[in-house]
Structure 1
Amino acid sequence: MTTILVTGATGTLGRQVAERLRTEGADVRGLSRRSPSYAVDLRDGKGLDAAVDGVDTIVHCASSPRGDDRAAGFLIEAARRAGVPHLVYISIVGVDRVPLRYYAAKRRVERMIEDSGVGATIQRTTQFHDLVLSVVSGAAKLPVLPVPAGVSVQPVDSGEVADRLAVLALGAPAGRVPDLGGPEVREFSGLAGAYLRATGRRRRVVPVRLAGKAYAGFRSGGHLSPAHAVGTVTFEEFLARLHRRAG
């Protein structure tokens, strides 16, 4: 039986990856700070050696706006010591094109994995529907709904990403694999409108022009991958599914 360690196993993506892998018959170890079996804080790495011992593959889904590269360093070193043959890493489309601090950290992690000597697979995806929902639902609390002017997004369903990662985890190391993008490139204002219609809220969507190099990178589409629009679940379908679950 294949033994697979999933980091961030209580998060939106990691939980689904673990479920997919268990369905495929893998022995899954779920690692997170709140895991009942493998409670590890990747920021200090304590307990990692026990978690990776005897593991065939690590799927690294844990992520944080701060300290991603430090956490990855502990994980990579533990994988080396244990002789883990395969490390799967989820990254973001545009980490090498959009000058955002979080993206820069993700790109550093990619390089660390590539240079580690551990067999690796790196999968970049576009933004999740969940992230777009978080942005627009938070903005909708205001009297008007502000969105970044001129910015398009290509949101992808986290479940489809989990499906892809599970397949990759059960295969051999493949290096950097083709991007996984959502089915549509949509202006942020259009996605905000879809959210308002789905929730029955009335707000005026107000495009706001922002400053800075990161915003310019998003305006230029550095975070998009239209040539790899292989996802099938649209933002409206994602919202409808949430509504059915809530009902």
Structure 2
Amino acid sequence: MGDGLQQLYMAKSLSELNNQVKDIPKAPPKLLVKTAQRVLKEAQLVDGRKDEEKSYVLYMRYFSIVMSIQKQEEYKNNKKYYDSLLDPKMTVKVIGRAEELQKSLSRRYEFKNSAKQAEKLAEEKRATEKLEKERERERKAKQAAEAAKTDATTNGVTEEGCISCEKLYSLYKEKCSTYMILDTRPQHHFIESQIKLPNVVSIPEELLKPGLTAARIGSELEEPSRTLWVTLRDKVDYLIICDWFTEGPPLPPPLTVLVDAIVKVYS
């Protein structure tokens, strides 16, 4: 706080600090006097170091010991003697100093707790704002993705060159455009589940190695796929490549090899 006081470390509130003033054990007054003198000396030493918490606890402990002594019959019978050992004026000073420390500590605890509460609220606000921003970004990203998906699709064909099942079916039914389907699934899969449409060419993925040319592909194909590849490849409106799992870019290596071989023919 800029006044040289030692930082608070013993408690979070004055009531919590008061709980640290230990109960005074039952003992003869003479023994308690020695304890009180020792506690007072330590309290004054700690007070000089500007440790308000510990000095407050020690002053209150000193006061409690004095009160315990004064309640005993031996004190009442030898009041003058004990007062000479424990000066009543010192007890008054101790009470006054404890009250000063109490007021100071009360303000400091209140300030510290208010600062902590403010920081906690500020941290919660920052966390909430961060979460809201993240949700807003996710919402906008989702909207942008949906918009891009909608904008990118025209008549069933996307800008990436992907064709929908509906568009393929319309090509087959309406016969307004020509097509050839290049099925890159393994040969045994093609045989077991061939697409029931015209102009389907089986180009097994095991044939599609880097550097392959369109001519080499034709020489590796079996009939009737070879004839369709050679005679229709450059005459149809759509060359449709498919496999089991690919839904769009990025394409797996076999499909990339096939696309490169086709593009090189026309480049």
Instruction: Output the TM-score relative to the length of structure 1.
Output: 0.21
Structure (1/2) with the larger helix percentage: 2
Larger Rg: 2
Instruction: Output the TM-score relative to the length of structure 2.
Output: 0.20
Relative contact order, higher structure (CA 8 A, sep 6+): 1
Structure (1/2) with the larger strand percentage: 1
